[in-house]
A and B are shown apart, each in its own frame.
Chain A
Amino acid sequence: MKITEQEVRYVAALANLALSDDEVKKFEADLDQILTHIDKLNELDTSGVEPMARVLYEAQTGTLREDIPVPPLPEAEALANAPQPGAGYFKVPKVIER
């Protein structure tokens, strides 16, 4: 087995993802199958190969634009999709418990 139930629960916690027990079981089997396929990459010798971290290079993209201040999104528009806006902020449940 490439992955255990305990690892699935650990990864779900890292991803902030609540999973049902059925989902844990399903993903344990799915990830095991996919990770087994992925093991194929170990057949390839990649020593001396530079990792490809991006597709185009600076000469092709001219990455930096000029630093010109522009008006930001108005507060009301930025908050329009918030589940719970309030006083110009995104409101969330209590972070610190008593």
Chain B
Amino acid sequence: MNVASLTIEGVRRGLHARDFSAVELAQAALHFAQAENSKTNAFLTFSEERAITAAKAVDEKLARGEDAGLLAGVPLAIKDVILTRGLTTTCGSRLLEHYIPPYDATAVVRVEQAGGIIIGKTNCDEFAMGSSNENSAYGPVRNPVAPGRVPGGSSGGSAAAVAQGAAVAALGSDTGGSIRQPASFCGVVGVTPTYGRVSRYGLAAFASSLDHIGPLARNVADAAAVLRVIAGRDPADSTSANAPVPDYAACFDRNVRGLKVGLPREYIKDLTSETGDLLARGVATLKTLGCDVREISLPATDYAVATYYIIATAEASSNLARYDGVRYTFRSNQSRTLSEMYRNTRGEGFGVECKRRIMLGTYVLSAGYYDAYYLKAQKVRALIARDFAQAFETVDAIVTPVSPFPAFRLGEKVDDPLAMYLSDIYTITGDLAGIPCMSVPCGTTTEGLPVGMQILTRHFDETTMFRLADAFETAGGPD
């Protein structure tokens, strides 16, 4: 068995043919992940005992001839902002170095009910705030494709774990591009489903109106299979959606002839690099497949970064207020009074990016500024969502770049926060509108760096998104 190239289908076939048992596969995946970790720092915690226990249960079910679930025996990695009962969950923060959650996130429960094997927790930017994974208190992740470069962020560890071959699939979280951008940097598939498609119960909150859990995988079919398992209404999250979850794989007909695909001019006007060339070649493939590609306009795009960094930081400043030294493990021991304890715990515990965002979010919500910033941003958010709604009156899917550039060098952008924020431009719009969006590999640059193509569709229409991505992947990517 070659752990590094397995897919969910490969695991299923291997188990049924008795080429390997679920326990053997779990052991092999853990061994591989641990051996590779000195190169990438993708994992923060390994969950050997939990993995072997779950794998034994799968083997026993298979021995009895029972259905062991859609993800039976599949080694999975979970981003460390997603809670796992009894398994340290740090959120990439010094504040939660010793935090052991008393419950599992709903997505984790569903993955394990479907027979998935959780092998460990993956590194990420602190509280999912960042685009390079350099904001982790536990050191940056190195891109397995190009070790001197970042894996992207904030789900950098999840993307690296899948790309290097340690996990067949992973769960990440996305608030402004944190699944799609690292997926594109590491050359894997990353999916941000419709807002509310997957329960956020047990996801450490960053910006509640923008947060999503979604899968990263080596191909479109695997990402769709994981989404099918984790999606659906959850009484524990009142914003989770009722909409029925289709069997996405059943819709993979590879026939996208006549599908109307929009190419927004605001997303390609500044693209002059190889990223632009590769996207153009990707679009050429879509035309060869028979898609009806047309240029569209999403005029509010230029305002998305400003809108996002008001709404996301405002919500973050409120959500992160809970880390005050009372309940969550870390407390500054330098304090005599309660208010000193709050201030010092937060001052010592949070890293610089979290502090910057808490400051910005507190500022935009402070007395006298609410209307000028937060309310204004909510109105512009409505315009951005309206742009997409109008576009989807004439097209079935929208195709864009994921990032203006491929993986950059470690340390290259850490000193310029605004430049880092501006590089999120192509991914944050999908989060603001709450529509499904994904990154599918779209070739590599001459230096061998992966580039992704983003596909966006209507609310709850993940099916069209997956169909197009699967057809594109099957066609071999860019022409």
Contact surface of A with B, Cβ cutoff 8 Å: 3, 7-8, 11-12, 14-20, 23, 26-27, 30-31, 33-35, 37-38, 40-44, 46, 49-56, 60-65, 73, 77-78, 80-84, 90, 92-95, 97
Contact = CB atoms under 8 A, between A and B. Distances in A.
Given A17-B358, A93-B340, A38 B309 contact: yes
Given A15-B358, A16-B342, A31-B356, 9 more contacts: A14-B362, A23-B355, A34-B418, A44-B300, A51-B379, A51-B382, A56-B434, A73-B102, A80-B100
A53 B195 contact: no
Given A17-B347, A82-B326, A83-B325, A8 B359 contact: yes
Contacts of B350: 17
Interface residues of B, number: 75
Contacts of B343: 16-18
Contact of B338 (A18, A41, A52, A93): A93
Interface stretch (B120-128, B146-154, B234-242, B279-287): B234-242
9 contacts: A14-B366, A18-B347, A35-B363, A41-B307, A46-B383, A51-B379, A61-B240, A64-B238, A93-B337
A46 B359 contact: no
A52 B289 CA distance: 37
A37 to B, nearest CB: 6
Given A44-B383, A83-B329, A34 B360 contact: yes
Interface string B352-383: 10011011101100100000010111111111
B225 to A, nearest CB: 24
A23 B377 CA distance: 27
| Pairs A-B, 5 closest by C-beta atoms | A18-B347, A51-B378, A55-B434, A83-B331, A46-B379
B428 to A, nearest CB: 14
B198 to A, nearest CB: 13
A11 B358 CA distance: 9
Given A65-B235, A90-B326, A51 B375 contact: yes
B378 A53 contact: yes
Contact of B100 (A16, A35, A81): A81
A76 B326 CA distance: 15
B380 A60 contact: no
A16 B339 contact: yes
Contacts of A37: 305-306, 418, 422
Contacts of B204: none
B405 interface: no
B228 interface: no
A62 B382 CA distance: 22
Interface in B405-423: 417-418, 421-422
Contacts of B379: 46, 49-52
B248 interface: no
B346 interface: yes
Contacts of B100: 80-81
Question: Which secondary structure dominates where chain A touches chain B?
Answer: loop
Contacts of A8: 359
Contact of B241 (A60, A64, A82, A95): A60
A81 B331 CA distance: 11
B395 to A, nearest CB: 21
Given A37-B306, A49-B382, A27 B355 contact: yes
B328 A93 contact: no
A46 B375 CA distance: 10
Contacts of A15: 317, 346, 358-359, 362
Given A34-B418, A94-B338, A27 B359 contact: yes
B262 to A, nearest CB: 21
A35 to B, nearest CB: 8
A34 B417 contact: yes
A18 to B, nearest CB: 3
B335 interface: yes
A51 B328 CA distance: 34
B344 interface: yes
Contacts of B381: 51-52
A14 B381 CA distance: 26
A54 B196 CA distance: 11
A16 B320 CA distance: 11
Contacts of B300: 44
Interface string B410-447: 00000001100110000000000110000000000000
A56 B241 CA distance: 8
A30 B419 CA distance: 11
B399 to A, nearest CB: 22
Contacts of B235: 65
A82 to B, nearest CB: 6
Contact of A83 (B243, B330, B348): B330
B325 to A, nearest CB: 6
Nearest to B102: A77
B327 interface: yes
Contact of B382 (A3, A35, A52): A52
